[in-house]
Structure 1
Amino acid sequence: MQVEEVFHPGTLTCDASDPLEEVAAKMAVDHIGALAVLDNDRIIGIISERDIVRAVAEKVDLRTATATLYASHQLQTAAFGEDTRDAARRMLDAGIRHLPVKQGPVVVGVISMRDLLAVETWL
């Protein structure tokens, strides 16, 4: 199966300068576990629930600490045409649960470990 058959279209994002409090609220409202972090419409990282938990554990002020401070900047992406098993292997190797999905140079959505598990379980 290919990435484009199972990914979630539409990129849920936050700005690099957004406070973690707003980032967490957006995740809660949208029922998602990660957001792409943008700097002037360019994706520079991804921030996940784990990153928010780390900030809470470090007792940072969630109203002033920004997304870019806690985002993962070693960004990996999945691409249209990529086999879902290859994407899953890369996610496991990197210890990550979400990959932004690119169609050419444009980020068009996200694929999660849950999406990939569903492929293996129900198809």
Structure 2
Amino acid sequence: MSNGYEEDLAMYEEAQGPMRKQFDNRALLKPISNTRYPRQPISFEPDTELGKVLDAMAKKHIGAVLIIQDGRISGIFAERDTLIKNIYRCDDLKRPVSEFMTPNPDCLMPHDSIAFALNRMVQGGYRHIPLMDSAGAPVGLLSMRDVVAYIVSYFPAEILNLPPHSEHNPPDRSIVGG
């Protein structure tokens, strides 16, 4: 007597193709180009007013932009820079983004491995890394979110079918001082 599992599995395989990709260290040795990083990074000139950059980041829901001078990456400005560099005064918004950007950021190429990108991000303590071609021109901006999405693609059923709440009860935070 069949419990229907085999039929369900057969229907799933028919609809989805092979069960799933296998995740192992080889998946991280694949090139960055296997992720779905933005191919057209948002960029600004170094003399662009900070307020204009922040407006664009908010409207496009992005966490970082490239600063380009003479067709090359001269810096990166990320949402973290806003917090770390205490950008909160109205007069700051009129100043050039070059005063607040991270100059000469580490850059990678699309053929570099995902593992190497993760290493650079963790060692450098940043969530975004610019991608450039062999001539130094910008071709993308890889985010930690892009890498996580790539890894999650190996576990679609396990990740997407999680219950809406953790199976563990949250700690009681009503205790004074807790």
The verdict on a shared fold, with TM-score over 0.5 as the criterion, is yes
Q: Distance in 2 between matches of 1:67 and 1:22?
A: 9
Give the conservation status (yes or no) of the 8 Å contact 1:20–1:66.
yes
- Deviation track 1:88-107 (CA, whole Å, cap 9, x = no partner) reads 11111001111111222221
Q: Distance in 1 between matches of 2:79 and 2:71?
A: 22
Q: Distance in 2 between matches of 1:38 and 1:107?
A: 8
- Deviation track 1:49-72 (CA, whole Å, cap 9, x = no partner) reads 111233425x36233221100100
Give the conservation status (yes or no) of the 8 Å contact 1:78–1:99.
yes
Q: Which one has a bigger Cα radius of gyration?
A: 2
Q: Distance in 2 between matches of 1:86 and 1:28?
A: 29
Confirm or deny that 1:3 pairs with 2:27.
no
Which of 82, 87, 109 is matched with 2:140 structurally? 109
Q: Secondary structure at the match of 1:76?
A: coil
Q: Secondary structure at the match of 2:91?
A: coil
Which of 1 and 2 has higher RCO (CA within 8 Å, sep 6+)?
A: 1
Partner letter of residue 116 of structure 1? V
Q: Distance in 2 between matches of 1:121 and 1:77?
A: 24
Matched with 1:66 is 96
Give the conservation status (yes or no) of the 8 Å contact 1:34–1:47.
yes
Counterparts of residues 78-97 of structure 1 (less than 5 Å)? 78-97=108-127
Aligned residue pairs, count:
122
Q: Secondary structure at the match of 1:85?
A: helix
Q: Secondary structure at the match of 1:79?
A: coil
Runs of 5+ in structure 1 lacking a partner? Answer: none
Q: Distance in 2 between matches of 1:12 and 1:44?
A: 14
| CA RMSD between the two structures | 1.6
Partner letter of residue 30 of structure 1? K
Confirm or deny that 1:42 pairs with 2:77.
no
Give the structure-1-normalised TM-score: 0.89
The structure with the greater share of residues assigned to strand is: 1
